[in-house]
Structures are given as structure tokens and as C-alpha cells.
Amino acid sequence: MAAKEINVDVLVIGAGPTGLGAAKRLQQLNSVSWLIVDSNETPGGLASTDVTPEGFLFDVGGHVIFSHYKYFDDCLHEALPQSDDWYEHQRVSYVRYQGIWVPYPFQNNIAVLPKEEQVKCLNDLIDAALEARVRAATDKPKNFDEWNQRNVGQRLNEIFMRPYNFKVWAVPTTKMNSTWVGERVAAPNVKLLTTNVIQNKVAGNWGPNSTFRFPAHGGTGGIWIAVADTIAKENTRFGAHGAVTKVDADAKKAYLKDGTVVKYGSLVSTMAVDYLAESMGDVKLQQMCKPLFYSSTNVIGVGIRGQRPERIGDKCWLYFVEDNCQFYRATIFSNYSPFNQPTEDVKLATKQLANGQQPTSSEAQSGPYWSIMLEVSESSYKPVNHETLLADCIQGLVNTDLLKPEDEIVSTYVRRFDHGYPTPSVERNGALDEILPYLRQKDILTRGRFGSWKYEVGNQDHSFMLGVEAVDNVVSGGIELTLSYPDFVNTRANTERRLTPSSK
């Protein structure tokens, strides 16, 4: 029996934020034929949400909604238009250091450190500032470690930037470039820091996510399910019917697991570019991808019985630099929405106490409940023992005072993502300068968190717009601002494009 063949002008692979952005724009333009495919039944990709058997929600990583684009805002408003669809939060974020909570970002809040530590940090900051005044403009930092040394000084680099970033990226900062930094890392103002130290004052909120939104229902994944629901079903193939097994770039054909062959004019691929190279069987492209480095992410969720403790309060996410816990970030996930955990009347049995002991009773009891979500990075530089990971993380929660030894744990969740963070390695830019044009010559645009491998434009709003702008480029030769000019989109709200009602 001959395979069924479908012909489209544009094929989109992947229904995460980037693929859905592409599909949304294709539907809005309504000028070419198109199809979006994904091997998962539920859209969302790396912005999905899982639910434990006990009813606790955990995102597949730390995600919140903040935006640089009106178009993105409009699309989310169309999908979730009611005021009670969302909660709005002020970021309350700290760094755990030597038993104290230092407001985020750490380097802007050395005023809360012990006096002797403040002196060391300020001395090195002043030295770094003086060195910067005589440095030639052409003398750029060779790597991220050198960027840190120049911007925060030796002491802050030693006690925070170097160890914390290794914990996050699972790669030494000497092996990372510094071109990605932009709005991701706060470069301290030495005069303001000195003033704050003298006045014993904490710095104000910094960064684009100082306020953020979170969906009331369904976690982050609920957003993308709602966005996908605004896309015409006849243009989607999700689940077993949407799994791509092979891409023939010369023939411009994608082969699906169910035997369907999709003939396309242009391909917008949001799968990891190294996976794309494998699916194409392109040895040359596979070699080009070799310099691209990534870390894996382990997400651990813990559901706890009891009232949220006062010491936790309204904290959002917390950073951990020291080795008394494996995780680099903890999110108080129950603070984002009251619907992220079961209601108080739900009766659950205690799995274990935080100290590892078994409870005195196995009888199910009612709540209330709260929850914590943890992230642990992993790479060849930083291996993880998966057999003990959950137990180690629970012990880390006790070590950092997030849990008390007698706290009752009623639900746990562990999931590993092979491709977690696209590392902005020293070799990355050179590799992308070869990969992206090579694929473009074949009418393939590889976009998204691991499609274009640019962490600096890897948030949900960026990812969505990478798909939108890829379609504009295919259909009308539009400039891809997000891909090509990350610093521009990160420092200026893009208000020009708005969503108009779809004609479909």
C-alpha cells in the first residue's frame, strides 16, 4: 500500500511555544498552506506541566510569564482572556548563602552580608572599576568567567558567580562565552552598592521578571494548551500521527511514524538542531553540531501536608550556591496558584517524613498542602546519581531550612530532560554561524530553545516570537529580530506588531 502524501507550503515540527507561534502566525496570515506536527498528544514542549497521582502540579522547569512583545501578549489574551485566568505576582526572590537569605540579585545586595565580607567585595569591585577605566574598548572578555571578574570583582566571582553558574549550567564559566549576558546578569553599580552598604539598604527589584504572571489553572502547560485550542484542528497532527521519523532535505519530505509523507516548501523545525541533523542523516550537519554543548535538567517536586510556614511566606523562587544541596533553584510552586495543589479536603497518606523516616500512621488525612519544585543540572562535567537524587534533594531541603525534619511529604515527582539548557559555550556562536545558513539554503529554519540554541532569547515570549518571525521570513522575507538582534529585543518592548483576528 502506497504511503499517504500531504503537500503543504510550510511544515512546522514541534508544538512547543516556538511551533505554536509559527502556527499562530500562519493561521493569521492565511496566505499559504501549512501543517504543524508533534509527537506528543499534548502541546507545550518544554513549557508543559505534569500532574502527580496525588494531584500536585509541577511545571517541567521554572517558568513564568513576562513579555517583550505586544503580539505575544495579544495571543495569550486571546487564549486566556478572563481576569481570573491569571495571577499576577511581584517577584520575591533570594539567594541562600551561609545560612542567610540574600535578596536577588546577590551582587546588588552585598549590604546584607557580614561586614568583613562587604569590605572584601567592595575592595575588589572598586579595583575592577578602576581597571575598566583604562581598558581599551577593543579588549573584550574572552569568556563568562572573565566577564564576571571584570564586572563584579574577584571576591564576588569566587563566592557567588563562579560556583552558582557552575551549579546552573553544569559547565565551568571559563567555557562559556559572554555575548549572551545582556539582561540575564546584573552588572552592579559600584557607587550605588557603596551607598547601600553604608546605609545598610537592600537594592530594589531588577530585571524583566520583577513582576510576572502565572495561569490560575493547568500550570504553564495550561497556557499552551489554550493557545493550541485557538489553532484550526485540520492543520494539526499531534501524538502518534505527528511523530517525525526522518527528514529528507533534498526531496523536501518529512516522514511520519504512521507512514504519512509530508511534502513541504519550507520547514520550520523546533526540534533540537542536533536531533534534526540525525533525522536528516546529514553527516556534515552532525559535525557542525558537535561544538554545541547542553546540560540536562532534573526536575524534582515535593508536595507537603500542612500550612505554608511563615519562613517561606510569599517567596517565589530561590537560588542556592553552596554544596549543602544539589539543586540550584527552588520554586515555591504552591505560591503561584492555589490550584497547583489539591484542596484541603482531599485526604492523602504520608509517603515519608522529610528526615527519611516512615510516618507513624499510613492512614490518609486531609490537608492543607503546599509544594516545592527543584531543579538540578547535569552534564559530563557534573554527573548526578539518579538512584539517590530524590532523597538527596529532600535532605537538601532540610539542610537549607525549606523543610523541617518532621514535615510530612505526601507526593513526589522526578523527571529528567536530556536537553535542559542550551549552553552559550565559547564555541557556540561560531557553530551557529555555520549551521543556520547551511540549513537556510535547504529551506529549513531551525528555531526555538534548542532549534536556534540561543539561551538569551530562550524565554517563552522569545521562543513564541522566534516561530512568528520565522514564518514572516518564509512568507514575506521579514527580518527575524529575535534571532538576529537579541540585545535589541531585550532592551526595547516590541509594540509594532499586534494580533488581528484570524480570518480562518
Helix (H, G, I), strand (E, B) or coil at 402: coil
CATH of 5-88+215-293+424-491, one of 3.40.50.920, 3.40.190.10, 3.50.50.60, 2.20.25.90: 3.50.50.60
Q: What residue segments make up the domains of the chain, in order of their start?
A: 5-88+215-293+424-491, 106-199, 295-422
CATH of 295-422, one of 3.30.230, 1.10.10, 3.30.470, 3.30.70: 3.30.70
Same fold, 5-88+215-293+424-491 and 295-422: no
What is the Cα–Cα distance from 477 to 481, expressed in whole angstroms? Answer: 12
Answer positive or negative: Cα dihedral of 388, 390, 391, 392: positive
The maximal CA–CA distance of the chain, rounded, in angstroms, is 80
Q: How far apart, in Å, are the Cα atoms of 337 and each of 217, 346, 396, 402?
A: 8, 17, 25, 19
Q: How far apart, in Å, are the Cα atoms of 394 and each of 130, 291, 330, 405, 410?
A: 45, 35, 12, 10, 13
Q: Which helix (DSSP H) or strand (DSSP E) does residue 445 occupy? A: strand 444-446
AA letter at 421: Y
Kindly give the confidence (pLDDT) of every residue in the chain, 504 residues in length, as a single tens digit, with 9 standing for 90 and above: 457 999 999 999 999 999 999 999 999 999 999 999 999 999 999 999 999 999 999 998 777 777 788 999 999 999 999 999 999 888 888 999 999 999 888 888 888 999 999 999 999 989 988 888 888 888 888 999 999 998 889 999 999 999 999 999 999 999 998 887 754 455 567 777 788 777 776 766 555 557 788 999 999 999 999 999 999 999 999 998 999 999 999 999 999 999 999 999 999 999 999 999 999 999 999 999 999 999 999 999 999 999 999 999 888 889 999 999 999 999 999 999 999 999 999 999 999 999 999 998 889 999 999 999 999 999 999 999 999 999 999 999 999 999 999 999 999 999 999 999 999 999 999 999 999 999 999 999 999 999 999 999 988 999 999 999 999 999 999 999 999 998 888 876 555 566 654 433
For residue 260, give the C-alpha cell.
504519512
Q: How far apart, in Å, are the Cα atoms of 57 and each of 193, 372, 495?
A: 39, 10, 33
Say how far residue 206 (Cα) sits from the centre of its chain.
Answer: 18
What is the Cα–Cα distance from 151 to 243, expressed in whole angstroms? Answer: 46
Q: Which helix (DSSP H) or strand (DSSP E) does residue 265 occupy? A: strand 261-269
Q: Can you spell out the DSSP letters for 216-237?
A: SSSHHHHHHHHHHTTS-GGGEE
